[in-house]
Amino acid sequence: MKYALITGGSRGIGAAAARLFARRGWGVAVGHCQSGQRARALTEELSGLGVPAMAVRADVSDKNQVERMVDNVLENFCQLDILVCSAGVSHMGLISQIDEDEWRHLFAVNVDGVHHCCRAVLPHMLERKSGSIVTISSMWGQVGASCEAAYSAAKGAVIAYTKALAKELGPSNIRVNCVAPGVIDTEMNAHLSPDDLSALAEETPLGRVGAPEEAAAAIAFLASDEASFLTGQVVCPNGGLVV
């Protein structure tokens, strides 16, 4: 059996990935920060599929909390094969309107959080010379978005970090890949009006926005043995909006 830790696993793409992993027979640790009730409800659902499941809390921007979270997972599962860095926050607005604290918070969660999680799991994966890490970026991390300069910059940093870490860890048989979704129907995009979503769907060659399950399928593929010769790659479930 394989075991996965999914940060930001209580909702959206992270929760969809947790369900997919569990259906494939993997044990899942659902990481969360402020959604304890949701995380516990999800782990009960996953346990009903006959796999080990647990909820673990950590603010990924805090290195010490992340280390305790990973220690907790290893104490319960004794093994960790897959890390999915799905925890993230967004910000929309003119660059002149984002203050210093908002900018720092965005990078603390989206960039520092990925780094803290990778650093925390690496001793275990390096000892076993095995593991798969999947980071979550965004199509805006590839091409940038108007009124989302900070978010685009942070998600671009995740892509660069992923590519660099893949080169560093490849000789240890640890794969590091990234999923950069397009417009996905999640709570993170709930601020978009129906008209905005409709416009984005019209701009998308497939003519619609994506579902969390479609992004989760890309995550599960990259984490699986079927992707054993893939590392340092960015997979883009975006309906063709960015090519």
DSSP letters for 221-239: HHHSGGGTT--S-EE--ST
Q: For residue 185, give the CATH number of its domain.
A: 3.40.50.720
In whole angstroms, give the CA distance from residue 195 to residue 199. Answer: 6
Task: Give the predicted TM-score (pTM) of the model.
Answer: 0.97
Residue 96 falls inside a structural domain: yes
Residue 240 falls inside a structural domain: no
Residue 95 falls inside a structural domain: yes
Strands of the 27-32 sheet, one edge to the other:
53-57, 27-32, 3-7, 82-85, 131-136, 174-179, 234-235
Active-site annotation holds for 161? no
% helix / strand / coil in the chain, to the nearest 5? Answer: 50, 15, 35
Residue 241 falls inside a structural domain: no
Total domains, the chain = 1
Residue 171 CB coordination number (10 Å) = 8
Tokens standing for 235?
């997979």
Reading the chain (243 residues) residue by residue, the pLDDT tens digits are: 999 999 999 999 999 999 999 999 999 999 999 999 999 999 999 999 999 999 999 999 999 999 999 999 999 999 999 999 999 999 899 999 999 999 999 999 999 999 999 999 999 999 999 999 999 999 999 999 999 999 999 999 999 999 999 999 999 999 999 999 999 998 877 777 788 889 999 999 999 999 999 999 999 999 999 999 999 999 999 999 999
In whole angstroms, give the CA distance from residue 64 to residue 180. Answer: 27
Residue 17 falls inside a structural domain: yes
Q: Which residues contact 94 (CB under 8 A, 6 or more apart)?
A: 147
- Provide the residue range defining the domain that includes 181: 3-235
Residue 242 falls inside a structural domain: no
In whole angstroms, give the CA distance from residue 18 to residue 2. Answer: 13
Q: Which three-class secondary structure state does DSSP give residue 9?
A: coil
Q: Given 26, 77, 107, 151, which residue is catalytic? A: 151
